Chains A and B, each alone.
Chain A
Amino acid sequence: MIDTILTNLAMIIATTLMYSTPLVFTSLGGVISENSGVINIGLEGMMVIGAFIGAALGYFIGNPWLAFIGAGVAGGLFGLLHAFACVTFGANQIVSGIAINFLGPGIALFLSRIFFEGATMTKSISLDNKMPRPLNGIFPEGSLLNIIFDNQYATVYLALIMVFLFWFFLYKTKYGLRLISVGEHPTAADTLGINVMKIRYFAVIMSGVFAGFGGAAMSLAIVSNFRPTLISGHGFIALAAMIFGKWKPQGALLACLLFGGSQGLAVFLGQFDFEISSQLISMLPYVITIVVLIGFVGKSAAPSADGIPYEKEHKN
């Protein structure tokens, strides 16, 4: 009895980790951009282009890591575009982000049709060329650790490491201190000789890189190709997780795990022949998120200057 419960629990943990991973990468992207004071609602579009480039490079090159990095670069280019509009030209950050949500899928599908003979779905990557599974076959068959870790792709561990690195970077290094200061009070940072523009460019580009990673974590690991509906809204959910996690990497991780967890629960419950429809179970993560948000009253603490373009030369 206890064995079954533990086994089931292990299975839920395994799916939780799997589903959370793309979200974790992407919401880390959100964390860094918004802590520097630039709202990035374009995470979705950046994730889509990352998923496509990851899948396409994975197919053509056959090296998952090169493909993964390529996806980051592609996302980073979109980040650059967003930074160009928001940082250099003081654009409305929401509008620019929405634009990227059209451009990302638009360009991804455009390229897909060109490189995959008119198809909007890329060709599958063979299992050997997907992300490696570092702990595959390490633990004894049927053990709990085996259930949890056997099939986890490298991206899962990488995501967790990245959360730690982001936390360390933001709160323990001088560049993190500066980045947060720019998002809180850019004028103050400027008066201390901190280059607001440079930091914001860096943060927004990195945010694209990580959203790109998030997309590739989907197309190179969880599935093995790109298709138009692959990302469908995950970027927005990562954005919600970032807000839910109070703009902190560790908070975003927990929010992503909560989200992946309720998705894992939905998958788990889905395998039983319940009276409840699987469609209703699929609703679960979204309903839980709303309920939790309602329950946790108290305004979440966005960086003070989040969303406000910084303009250097202005009249008092």
Chain B
Amino acid sequence: MGYKNATRSLTKVIEMKNITKKFGDFVALDSVNLDIFKGKVHALLGENGAGKSTLMNILYGLYYSTSGEIFINGEKVNITNPNIAIEHGIGMVHQHFMLIKPFTVAQNIILGREPISKMSVLNMKKALKDVKEISERYGLYVDPNAKIEDISVSMQQRVEILKALYRGAEILILDEPTAVLTPQEIIELIQIIKNLTKEGKSIILISHKLKEIKEAADFCMIIRRGKHIDTVVVSETTEEELASKMVGREVSFVVDKKDKKAGDEIFSIKDLVVKDNRNIITVDKLNLSVKKGEILGLAGIDGNGQTELLEAITGLRKIESGEIKINGNDITNKTPFQIINNKIAHIPEDRQKRGLVLDFDISENTILENYYKKPFSKKGILQYNNINVYANELIDKFDIRPKKASKMARTLSGGNQQKVIVAREITNDPDLLIAAQPTRGLDVGAIEFVHKSLIEQRDNEKAVLLISFELDEVMNVSDRIAVIYEGKIVGIVDAKDAEVEKLGLMMAGGGNK
């Protein structure tokens, strides 16, 4: 039927025309058009950095467009700040939640539109009543007196949606709303979206996940590198078609990997107990082992103890009880220094916080664990010639760009920063490589590179532990998959036999007995 025909009889609520946005010389958006129709779900599909969020930030008044026009209900508007967007009935749920952690749910919802009695004094009674009313109307149940820091991520998302509805939003922008949810929570969210459209709200869904676009959206606009590629009717297209439009070429969803038998067990965790920053047990009597020549994937939703497990293994967090061994050596509660010397390498979750010293150049970053060893250092004096030679070797081998060892890590792109870390950790020749969220925020090319590096490591008879929130990644790369839920391993399956539905259920605590 085609997009034009499908939308002919619908009411246009938003029209963005020829939107261009430049950051310095960089063109983030190049003359993009977008139409939104009443009561419909409109998906925005594109890779990281394609310009989806930028476009929405312009609509919401957080960024100013360099040129272009916006019409709401046919009327030209000039949205210079979020207040104006809110007045026009636009609400936005950001990918990184915009919640004040020490505030309560109700305080967060009313912030900026506070009910007051005399003299600007807060009227919390009315606030609680309003929040209750609105949450009942849309079936979004929350505890208005709970503090944000104490409630779950999916609850926080509800608070975000309520925040927008409290402000009378007719058009709701959801930025990557499922990134932090379990498969079950995603189903709930899609139901919420459907409820909202039934009430006449229009939804803009920003996502790079094809499956949920297929499930939830009516229309889908694809952008790539700031350019509008196509807008399609979702029911008339396939996931493959969307994917190839998104990346601009055919994409194979399968990672190239030969079958191979795993060797002996090399790394084991027994009855591990670890507490988080709030002193709550988050890793609870966990058992796990990894063999030589295999990639063990750890699947799970964010916040089920992955971070604490990772930090416990690498010596960054205290272990309450239990035992961790590599090559038969006990490394429980050893310092990071000792653990590194036991041939464990680690691609950290947060490359900018842990993985790199951003104010060091590439060469200094390549020797982070080895700076004191020969040939990089002799009698305590750094040997910059040798360091540079080494750094240039890594730059060539791992194709780090720009090819300049004296470039500050801060100036590199995300993909190249990750390459520096991967290069450093793999070149340390570890017996166990732990890769945590190794492809987060990377583009397709860099993702392929990282996956290839992990598989090479496995093919060289090394052990790899892959921790990822992306179920697809875990399923494609691993040999075996362990599922973590509330700090315990709730099941281990062979990757070949794994089914999404079953893993999803386990990730949500459903278990497989």
Which residues of A are in contact with B by a Cβ distance under 8 Å?
Answer: 172-175, 177-178, 180-181, 184-185, 187-194, 304, 312-313, 315-316
Query: Inside 8 A of A177's CB, which chain B residues have their CB?
Result: 103, 107, 111, 114, 122
Residues of B within 8 A of A184 (CB): 100-103
Is the CB of B42 closer than 8 A to any CB of chain A? no
- Report the bound CA distance from A67 to B122 in whole Å: 34
Q: Give the distance to chain A from B44, nearest Cβ to Cβ, in Å.
A: 14
In residues 110-165 of chain B, which contact A (Cβ within 8 Å)?
111-114, 116, 119-122, 163
Q: What are 22 of the A-B contact pairs (CB < 8 Å)?
A: A173-B116, A173-B119, A174-B121, A177-B114, A180-B102, A180-B103, A181-B103, A181-B111, A184-B101, A184-B102, A187-B98, A188-B100, A189-B111, A191-B82, A191-B94, A192-B82, A192-B111, A192-B112, A194-B111, A194-B112, A316-B49, A316-B53
B436 close to chain A: CB less than 8 A: no
Cα A285 to Cα B163 in complex, Å, equals 48
Bound together, the chains give a CA A315 to CA B63 distance in angstroms of: 9
Chain B 88-109 interface mask (CB, 8 Å, partner A; 1/0)? 0000101000111111000100
What residues on B are CB-neighbors of A189 within 8 Å?
100, 111-112
- Interface range for B: 20 to 34
**Which residues of chain B (60-110) have a CB below 8 Å from chain A?**
60, 62-64, 81-83, 86, 92, 94, 98-103, 107
CA distance A174 to B107 in the complex (A): 10
Contact residues in A for B18 (Cβ distance below 8 Å): none
B122, A178: Cβ atoms under 8 Å? no
**B337 CB contacts on chain A under 8 angstroms:** none
| Known contacts A173-B121, A174-B120, A184-B102: A193-B63 contact under CB 8 Å | no
CB of B8, distance to nearest CB on chain A (Å)? 34
Give the CA-CA distance A173 to B103 in the complex, in Å. 14
Instruction: Tell whether, in the assembled complex, residue A178 and residue B112 are in contact, meaning their CB atoms are under 8 Å apart.
Output: yes
- Contact call A173/B100, Cβ cutoff below 8 A: no
A312, B62: Cα distance in complex, Å: 8
Q: Which 9 A-B pairs have the closest CB atoms?
A: A193-B83, A188-B98, A192-B112, A174-B114, A193-B82, A315-B23, A184-B100, A173-B120, A181-B100
Q: Closest CB of chain B to A297's CB: distance in Å?
A: 13
* CB atoms of A172 and B62 under 8 A apart: no
Residues of chain A contacted by B304 (CB below 8 angstroms):
none
**Which B residues lie within 8 Å of A191 (CB)?**
60, 62, 82, 92, 94, 98
B54 at the interface (CB under 8 A from A): yes
In angstroms, Cα B83 to Cα A173, docked, is: 20
- The answer on a CB contact under 8 Å between B101 and A304 is yes
Q: Tell whether B28 is near chain A: CB-to-CB under 8 Å.
A: yes
Closest to A195 in B: B81
Known: A173-B121, A315-B28, A316-B54. 9 other contacts (CB 8 A): A172-B121, A177-B107, A185-B98, A185-B100, A188-B98, A189-B100, A191-B94, A192-B113, A315-B54
Chain A proximity of B99: nearest CB distance (Å) = 6
Task: Enumerate chain B residues within 8 angstroms of A178, measured Cβ to Cβ.
Answer: 111-112
Question: Most B CB atoms within 10 A — which of A174, A178, A180, A313?
Answer: A174
Query: For residue B52, which residue of chain A has the nearest CB?
Result: A316
Report the nearest A residue to B28, measured CB to CB: A315
Q: How far is the CA of A106 from the CA of B181 in the complex (A)?
A: 58
Given contacts A181-B103, A184-B101, A188-B99, contact A193 B122 (CB under 8 A): no
Query: Inside 8 A of B82's CB, which chain A residues have their CB?
Result: 190-193
Name the distance in Å between B165's Cβ and chain A's nearest Cβ: 14
Q: Which of B86, B99, B100 has the most CB of A within 10 A?
A: B100
A178 to B114, CA, bound (A): 10
Query: Are B122 and A172 touching (Cβ within 8 A)?
Result: yes
Task: Pick from B54, B63, B98, B116 the residue with the most CB of A within 10 Å.
Answer: B98
**CB <8 Å contact, A313 and B64:** yes
| Least CB separation from B95: chain A residue | A316
**Contact residue among A180, A187, A313 (Cβ-Cβ distance under 8 Å from B63):** A313
Query: B94: nearest residue on chain A (CB-CB)?
Result: A191
Bound Cα distance A313, B103 (Å): 26
Closest to A313 in B: B63
Given the complex, which residues of B lie within 8 Å of A181, measured CB to CB? 100, 103, 111
Per the bound structure, the CA–CA distance linking A177 and B120 in Å amounts to 11
With a CB–CB cut-off of 8 A, which chain A residues contact B101? 184-185, 304
Nearest to A174 among chain B residues (CB) is B114
What residues of A have a CB within 8 angstroms of the CB of B26 in the complex? 315
- What is the minimal beta-carbon distance from B46 to any residue of chain A, in angstroms? 13
Give the Cβ gap from B161 to chain A, nearest Cβ, in Å: 14
Q: Nearest residue in B to A176 (C-beta to C-beta)?
A: B122
> Given A175-B120, A177-B122, do A190 and B100 touch, yes or no (CB 8 Å)?
no
**Provided the pairs A190-B82, A191-B82, A192-B111 are in contact, do residues A174 and B116 lie with their beta carbons within 8 angstroms?**
yes
Measured in the bound complex, the distance between the Cα atoms of B111 and A173 in whole Å is 11
Question: Which residues of chain A come closer than 8 Å to B92, judged between CB atoms?
Answer: 191
Report A-chain residues with C-beta under 8 Å of the C-beta of B81: 193
Cα-based distance from A173 to B118 in the complex (angstroms): 10
Expressed in whole angstroms, the Cα–Cα distance for A191 and B49 within the complex equals: 21
Residues of A within 8 A of B60 (CB): 191
Q: What residues of A have a CB within 8 angstroms of the CB of B120 in the complex?
A: 173-175
